[in-house]
């Protein structure tokens, strides 16, 4: 029974979108930490002893000795409500994000947003006198998610979502309210978390600003990820066969696309997506034709 459930989850993870994979990873880490906490407590060991090795520290010395925490902290949750709230935000806004961007951009922006949030947290705690003598550890995917929220809001500002008790609200207002709340909360008990949110928001805006100029700041992150995945992926055994003379005589090779043709094609595709997004802003997603919805879905998969 347990084996079949695990196999099913593995299959769902492999076949699911990047959005679902990010949710699965966060939930898996959460469950691992909670189970580990229970086991350690049976031996009178507090799991908080391992937090400095996986959460983002505010002390420069701790960060220098544990630099990997800049990446690990954005996948770490220990409180049930913390991960529930974060994963709902990630799933809701992630779906809208994929209407305008590809899965690779989502992964890259998630990581860049977390890095920006962690660095701003570290800088603020060691720059502003208010935080003098205050040290702590930070965890959670909030900064990464806020980067996705802000990027989505700037790309599709008039796209409306229905909120309980509030009705349909445009993404731009949700992003503005979120940023204002974070600004007003930097001196609260969870000031470090709100500072990290602002770091993620700034990164989300920078992503859009560069994207509109034809630059994708997530590309370097994705190249690194692709190299890591390729390095660990088993290489298939290729069987080499000598082609026959008849095949050589009839086989034709397509002419490779020139740089100019490639840029022209990408521009046409971008213009088509922009036109579809403009239509969504004016009349909503339901106004799209079946072909336009298919085109938007295919663009989100790239």
pLDDT tens figures, 1-21: 556 666 666 666 666 689 999
How far, in Å, CA of 99 to CA of 280, rounded? 10
Check whether 271 has a pLDDT greater than 90. no
| Spatial contact of 21 and 13, defined as CB atoms under 8 Å apart | yes
In this structure, of 84-93, 224-233, 243-252, the range with the lowest mean pLDDT score is 243-252
3-state helix/strand/coil string of 238-280: CCCCCCCHHHHHHCCCCCCCCHHHHHHHHHHHHHHHHHHHHHH
3-state helix/strand/coil string of 177-235: HHHHHHHHCCCCCCHHHHHHHHHHHHHHHHHHHHHCCCCCCCHHHHHHHHHHHHHHCCC
CA angle 225, 84, 280 (to 5 degrees): 70
User: What mean pLDDT do residues 181-209 have?
Assistant: 95
Count the residues in the chain.
302
Check whether 249 has a pLDDT greater than 50. no
Q: What is the pLDDT of residue 252?
A: 46
pLDDT tens figures, 167-181: 888 999 999 999 999
Q: What is the pLDDT of residue 236?
A: 62
- The closest alpha carbon to 302, from 233, 216, 243, belongs to 216
- The closest alpha carbon to 106, from 157, 147, 73, belongs to 147
Pick the CATH number of 51-225 from 3.30.720, 1.10.3470, 1.20.1540, 1.10.10: 1.20.1540
Q: What is the pLDDT of residue 68?
A: 97
- Comparison of pLDDT for 157 and 239, the residue scoring more: 157
Q: What is the pLDDT of residue 206?
A: 97
| Spatial contact of 152 and 100, defined as CB atoms under 8 Å apart | yes
Q: Where are the domains of the chain?
A: 51-225, 269-302
In this structure, of 151-165, 223-237, 259-273, the range with the lowest mean pLDDT score is 259-273
- The closest alpha carbon to 196, from 125, 108, 133, belongs to 125
Q: Does the predicted model carry a pTM greater than 0.95?
A: no
Q: What is the pLDDT of residue 168?
A: 84
| Spatial contact of 115 and 171, defined as CB atoms under 8 Å apart | no
Q: What is the pLDDT of residue 1?
A: 57
């Amino acid at each position: 029974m347990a084996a079949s459930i695990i196999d099913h989850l593995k299959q769902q993870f492999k076949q699911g979108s990047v959005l679902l994979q990010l949710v699965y990873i966060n939930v898996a880490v959460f469950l691992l930490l909670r189970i580990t906490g229970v086991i350690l407590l049976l031996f009178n060991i507090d799991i908080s002893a391992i937090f400095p090795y996986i959460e983002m520290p505010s002390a420069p010395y701790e960060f220098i000795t544990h630099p990997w925490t800049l990446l690990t902290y954005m996948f770490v949750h220990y409180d049930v409500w913390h991960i529930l709230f974060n994963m709902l935000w990630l799933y809701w806004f992630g779906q809208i994000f994929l209407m305008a961007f590809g899965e690779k951009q989502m992964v890259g922006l998630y990581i860049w947003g977390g890095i920006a949030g962690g660095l701003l947290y570290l800088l603020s705690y060691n720059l502003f006198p208010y935080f003098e003598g205050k040290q702590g550890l930070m965890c959670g995917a909030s900064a990464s998610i806020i980067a996705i929220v802000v990027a989505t809001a700037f790309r599709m500002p008039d796209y409306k979502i229905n909120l309980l008790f509030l009705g349909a609200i445009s993404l731009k207002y949700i992003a503005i309210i979120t940023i204002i709340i974070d600004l007003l909360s930097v001196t609260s008990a969870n000031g470090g978390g709100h500072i990290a949110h602002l770091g993620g928001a700034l990164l989300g805006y920078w992503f859009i600003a560069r994207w509109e100029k034809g630059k994708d700041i997530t590309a370097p992150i994705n190249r690194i990820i692709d190299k890591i995945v390729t390095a660990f992926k088993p290489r298939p055994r290729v069987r080499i066969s000598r082609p026959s003379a008849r095949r050589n005589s009839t086989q034709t090779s397509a002419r490779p696309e020139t740089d100019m043709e490639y840029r022209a094609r990408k521009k046409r595709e971008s213009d088509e997506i922009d036109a579809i997004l403009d239509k969504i802003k004016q009349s909503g997603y339901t106004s799209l034709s079946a072909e336009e919805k298919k085109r938007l879905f295919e663009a989100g998969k790239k």
